[in-house]
Amino acid sequence: MSNQKSAEIAARFDRLPPSRTVWTMVILISLGGIFEFYDLFFTGYVAPGMVQAGLFKPESLGFFAALAPISVAGFGTFVFATFAGLWIGALVFGFVADRLGRRFIFTWSLVWYVICTAIMAFQHSGQAINLWRFAAGIGIGVELVTIDSYISELIPGGERGRAYAVNQFITFCAVPVVAFLAFILKDTHPLGLEYWRVVILIGTLGAIAVWIIRRNVPESPRWLARQGRLDEAERIVADIERRVAAEKGIALPPPQPVSAEMEGRGSIAEIFGPLYLKRTIILSIFNMA
């Protein structure tokens, strides 16, 4: 019953026309992603200040100095910690949004990496900075996969391609912003802090913004339906339908008939099977490039 309801909700979303209601949700989710990309991409822009502060000398790195034999040394350990955290977050904890909900994980993974990043900004050894960067990377990795799932389940199929394009445009705006901030703050000491610490701390303002976003973006009704929370799912879908119909001044067409979604979750092995192997290879090459 829950999988049938989830499929019906998808069909109800897919027949929605383009609307301000739908695009507001896309923009709000993307604004949450800005802080994720800011946190991810400040790496290259704070590097000069962190290196100049002597944080990545062997004696400051603690056990991270043991990475030297595999040519990971100095600031490279910070990059290593970042992507190790991302890898763990996406691969090991990426499933938690399926268990706890898109909205919940979208909110709390952002809060997690914002707190870890804020703590990292006040550390004074390479080892401590790398540890907190690794912890922040886990939250960023979880957020990366959650945002994509969130958009796919809230946006009509016909709008999904444009929704992802807008999402990427908005989130990548964080890159020139962090570059500009690092440029104008370089060699200064705002509030008595080294400039790179201030650049990092600016990104933690996401902790404030996320509560505003959270109030205006609903939980994925498809996820709710799959959890058997049908009344909540129905209430959210009906509210979105009502707002879209009022905004466009039309009666919505009936949804297309659907069959129930498949039971259970896919496995990692499935993407290497005959159905998805070519797509897995192409997308892996694309992302590596």
d(CA 156, CA 170): 19
pLDDT, tens only, 224-245 = 988 889 899 999 999 999 999 9
pLDDT, tens only, 146-191 = 898 899 998 898 889 999 999 999 999 999 999 999 999 998 999 8
Task: Indicate the pTM of the whole model.
Answer: 0.86
Among 1.10.3720.10, 1.20.1250.20, 3.40.640.10, 3.40.605.10, name the CATH number for the domain at 16-218: 1.20.1250.20
Predicted pLDDT of residue 117 = 94
Q: What DSSP letter does each residue of 80-129 carry, written as one string?
A: HHHHHHHHHHHHTSTTHHHHH-HHHHHHHHHHHHHHHHHHHTT--SHHHH
Domains in the chain: boundaries: 16-218
